[in-house]
Amino acid sequence: MADQQPDKLIAKLRELANSYDALTEQMNDPAVTGDRTKLTAIAKESAKLAKIAGGYRKYQRLLDQAEQSKLVLTEAGIDQELRELAHADYEESLAAAKVVLEELKTKLVMTDEDTVDSLMLEIRAGTGGDEAALFARDLLEMYTRYADRRGWKMETLSVSPTELGGLREVIVNVKGEGVWRALAYEGGGHRVQRVPETETQGRIHTSAATVAVLPERQDVEINIDWSKDVEEQTMRASGPGGQNVNKVESAIRLRHIETGITVSMRDEKSQHKNRSKARRILAARVQDHYRQQSQSKEAAARKLMVGSGDRSQRVRTYNFPQNRCTDHRIGFSGNLQQIMAGNLEELINELTAHDTADRLAAL
């Protein structure tokens, strides 16, 4: 059984299990326990490797059980009942080991994703005018239904509606277990083909919206000095037609000096609330900027099929006349009505499987 498994994968799992053991020893070292900063860093790294190390050892135990059962089968003179029991134990151990190894494959390449339980989901209307804004609204409703199915929490941070009920732009925070692993692949250009609500002659139009997905990590990797690294401007918030919503300067515009990334927030009447929301969005965008920079060489080398988050990339088409939703990265087609109702599980599982295979090939 062991000889049939990819040597590179097993070697990597063994290496990580050994690293976990080394970290555990370090945490018992008086020189480390006396240094709180160092201890915290080691504890975090140890926690990331714990499941992989435990899974690898379980896999090895199951292989050992299979080998023991195999030895019994080779013994001469054993009765038929014992032989059947040994054979059953051998098959069960191999089957269980295979399941554990498949789980380990996912854990191995998705460790960082598993630690992210909060993200920013940004949806913007693209080409197509009012119909594009209506499509952006429909995408938000689709993700909201999926989040409800998963038991996640959604908080609207910024929204820009149109007179017809569409959305020029909306930014929501999504929190819950597994949010990043599930939604990371949604980033990109989404295209819709349908007869718009505004169409009087029944013609099919093609419109678009863009989706960006930014992880909001609890252990912030990019430290922003809000007084030095960011320029802040305040202004009066205004409503439709330019009417003043506020007599005070409650709207906030932030610009991260080094990257040039900007965020404007005017949804709240309170300047403090607008600033707080703007900072959360800016921090997520800056983190994502540096994360993509650091991963660009690796991503180019392995030519990842999914998960790039490139907003210019057309990732999916929603064809209403044919009731078909097609993800162009993996060639998957599914029932559009079901997908718009928030039944995204099959599509996301396919995307995850392809991404996992690509990452394993790049190990």
Q: Classify residue 293 as exposed, middle or buried by CB count within 10 Å of its CB (0-12, 13-18, 19+).
A: exposed
**Containing domain of residue 250, as a range?**
230-289
Number of domains in the chain: 3
Tokens representing residue 317 in the block: 């088409």
User: Does 24 share its domain with 73?
Assistant: yes
Q: Which helix (H) or strand (E) holds 87?
A: helix 80-109
Last residue of a domain, one of 84, 109, 134: 109
User: Does 241 share its domain with 101?
Assistant: no
User: Does 166 share its domain with 140?
Assistant: yes
Alpha-carbon gap, residue 66 to 72, rounded angstroms:
10
Contacts of 253 (CB under 8 A, 6+ apart): 232, 233, 234, 235, 262, 263, 264, 265, 278
Which residues in the chain show pLDDT less than 50? 1-5, 219-220, 240-244, 246, 297-312
Rounded to two decimals, what is the model's pTM? 0.68
CATH code, domain carrying 183:
3.30.70.1660
Please report where in the chains the tokens 């559009």 appear, as a residue. Answer: 336
Contact between residue 190 and residue 318 where contact means Cβ atoms under 8 Å apart: yes
CATH code, domain carrying 246:
3.30.160.20
User: Does 144 share its domain with 216?
Assistant: yes
Q: Classify residue 43 as exposed, middle or buried by CB count within 10 Å of its CB (0-12, 13-18, 19+).
A: middle
User: Does 41 share its domain with 105?
Assistant: yes
For residue 267, is it within any domain?
yes
Q: Classify residue 329 as exposed, middle or buried by CB count within 10 Å of its CB (0-12, 13-18, 19+).
A: buried
Contact between residue 139 and residue 190 where contact means Cβ atoms under 8 Å apart: yes
For residue 243, is it within any domain?
yes
For residue 296, is it within any domain?
no
Residue 112 CA to its chain's centroid (Å): 10
User: Does 215 share its domain with 321?
Assistant: yes
Rounded alpha-carbon distances, angstroms, from residue 48 to 18, 38, 287, 340: 13, 16, 20, 35
For residue 131, is it within any domain?
yes
User: Does 261 share its domain with 153?
Assistant: no
For residue 299, is it within any domain?
no
User: Does 247 share its domain with 211?
Assistant: no
For residue 325, is it within any domain?
yes
Of 207, 119, 122, 206, whose CA–CA distance to 160 is shortest? 122
Tokens representing residue 149 in the block: 């199915």
Give one DSSP letter per residue of 101-134, joined into a string.
HHHHHHHHHSHHHHT--EEEEEEEE-SSHHHHHH
**Per-residue model confidence (pLDDT) at position 56:** 93
Q: How many helices (H) and strands (E) does the chain have?
A: 10, 11
Tokens representing residue 135 in the block: 């499509």
For residue 298, is it within any domain?
no
User: Does 350 share its domain with 313?
Assistant: yes
Rounded alpha-carbon distances, angstroms, from residue 13 to 4, 25, 96, 105, 155: 15, 19, 17, 9, 38
Of 289, 323, 292, 324, whose CA–CA distance to 307 is shortest? 292
Phi-psi sector, 297: left (phi>0), alpha (psi -120 to 50), beta: alpha
User: Does 89 share its domain with 142?
Assistant: no
- Burial annotation 110-141 (CB, 10 A radius, 16+ → b, else e): beebebbbbbbbbbbbbebbbbbbbbbbbbbe
Helices (H), 116-189: 129-150, 179-183
CATH code, domain carrying 63:
1.20.58
Last residue of a domain, one of 80, 109, 138: 109
